[in-house]
Structure 1
């Protein structure tokens, strides 16, 4: 029941005008923002879907960017690795030439000059930095120079030459997310890329009576292995062999010491994380020493880097030792070249996988944009039609209200 009064028509007209203005303003805001949902209460279900779609789209765009950045890193790394391979092939050509025994010592010394320059270029490639100033082959220690050089006098040379090259990075791997919970490894440790031979470490301490005094954790090639109290050397060997480390362990049948051998060309990275199990077995020094140059004084090591091989070749040329060049040196060069080819192939495979992730995420972003458009985008044809109808209704209402209240002050001044 409505109470009839002189104000009823005016109140109804004003109320309807406010409603029409609200609808007209909402239609204008939709056209201005190109979004049909202005407030959550407009369509709660669609708004919930829209928020989730937009959040997922942001993640997909991030995944695509991560894969693109990783792809660029693989591409840049391959450039330096391929150049290093060409250097090593040239070094091998010189080794084959120098091993045939027909050249004089002076000729071999002249060859050593070129080999030394090739060695410098190889180190330059290994110490390459990316466009953002990060070391390419230093693992996650990207702000450090990957390899440091020690100079010294070499017999047969009248000036200081490169005597030793030491790795200054680490072997940690960056995991880059390229999908929900899926990661690509960015493994750029220089001691794997620029290594020539499988490394072997022979312990010099009898471990037949050794037992772990307490629980401890050791790290073998970046893989942490738990040693329990009471474990003996055979238990340690078993745990290392059962781990994911690319290392095989054994007990020396004569010395009863712990021996470790990598399964491919790389430098061993050994460390006591908790406790001192490896130190007690004589494999490494105390935990204050930084790997990979923390091996115990009693250990024997075999297997070197590409730099070690080229340095040995240069020194053999300076000494006129054709026999060594044709035997040990040439064999190490072949192994180093083989490992470098393997690393280039692995890098190329990872590059292709990164490209596949870029393509997939790009397509996925288009699909998610379609879902967002379906839930949140405005139908312009319908919106413009509704806006015109609302505007027409509002104008008609104002016109009718003007006719209803046509009296003015002048009507009372006659």
Structure 2
């Protein structure tokens, strides 16, 4: 084959251009930190990258759902702990007032403290997080519990008993005028659900009607019966035949306390499951991020070595090209 000067010059320029293109690609990968910047760089790898990125986005969303559910359950657990502590204090007061040697003035003081504790229970029942009431079911924007005194009921046109008759037959007039006599639950029974994995959903709330007012007993009513029995000084005689005495209400308190503990254990079980799901999602996130990095990210060490090699080759190409292209016919005409 006949080789001309033009062919040698063209080949030299082509080699220089190819080397510059390789250096540009390597520089681009180093500056961007990724080796797949366009689908044509690696079609199969580009598909994998999109798949990994989609999976990571889903995992992040599931982790966000898990974090929200954990926050809700933690708040619920704290509130139920407070409920348990309040009930324990009320039981202590009830046991004290059941002592026959207790004077009525002392019992009245106990009843006053129980009124305060009932109001505190309502505050706990209206616990919120991020502006959402945790015991309200779906109706999270409104307080689920509303407390009424005897006067409040009269103002709203409802019937209300303001007087009590003690075991001695004495009328205690207007004793229920300014204290709690009714607590309403205005929430619903909606169960909050969240997706924590593809096709996997978890409930993460407990509605107030289950904790404070359900078929097993109405906590607030039982506490009001206890308070009234203390005001009446009715330890165990039940002279007015209303079915409630201090001693009988202590038994009701124990039963309701056990019910509260049951729901606390359910909340604890949900928290443990949520934590297990979170740990698995974190592991999946690490694994998926590693796959994405290995598929997409630039191997810095290898790319720097490649760039150095390409720079040396380019210098050699320029040197050879200079010798090939430089001579012309003029150089030989003297």
| TM-score over 0.5 for the pair | yes
**8 Å CA contact 1:135, 1:143 repeated in 2:** yes
**Pick aligned residue for 1:146 from 144, 147, 150:** 144
1:8-407 aligned at under 5 Å gives the runs 8-130=7-129, 132-153=130-151, 154-155=162-163, 156=172, 157=175, 159-195=177-213, 199=215, 265=216, 303-304=217-218, 306-323=219-236, 324-326=244-246, 328-406=248-326
Which whole-Å CA distance do the structure 1 matches of 2:87 and 2:138 have between them?
26
Q: Which has the higher contact order (CA 8 A, sep 6+)?
A: 2
Identify the residue that residue 253 of structure 1 maps to in structure 2: none
1:38 shift after superposition = 2.5
**SS of the counterpart of 2:245?**
helix
**SS of the counterpart of 2:227?**
helix
**8 Å CA contact 1:95, 1:325 repeated in 2:** no
Identify the residue that residue 169 of structure 2 maps to in structure 1: none
**SS of the counterpart of 1:142?**
coil
1:108 shift after superposition = 2.3
Note the aligned Cα RMSD (angstroms): 2.6
**Structure 2: any 5+ residue segments left out of the alignment?**
152-161, 164-171, 237-243
**SS of the counterpart of 2:281?**
helix
TM-score when normalising by structure 2: 0.82
Which whole-Å CA distance do the structure 2 matches of 1:111 and 1:136 have between them?
30
Once the two structures are superposed, residues 84-107 of structure 1 have per-residue CA deviations (whole angstroms, 9 ceiling, x without a partner) of 101111112222333344434333
Which whole-Å CA distance do the structure 1 matches of 2:235 and 2:20 have between them?
98
Which whole-Å CA distance do the structure 1 matches of 2:191 and 2:270 have between them?
14
1:398 shift after superposition = 2.1
User: Which protein has the bigger strand share?
Assistant: 1
Which whole-Å CA distance do the structure 2 matches of 1:376 and 1:158 have between them?
73
Which whole-Å CA distance do the structure 2 matches of 1:26 and 1:325 have between them?
88
1:25 shift after superposition = 0.9
Which whole-Å CA distance do the structure 1 matches of 2:212 and 2:312 have between them?
78
How many pairs does the alignment contain?
A: 305
Which structure has the bigger radius of gyration? 2
**8 Å CA contact 2:19, 2:314 repeated in 1:** yes
1:194 shift after superposition = 2.0
TM-score when normalising by structure 1: 0.67
More moved, 100-109 vs 329-338:
100-109
Identify the residue that residue 248 of structure 1 maps to in structure 2: none
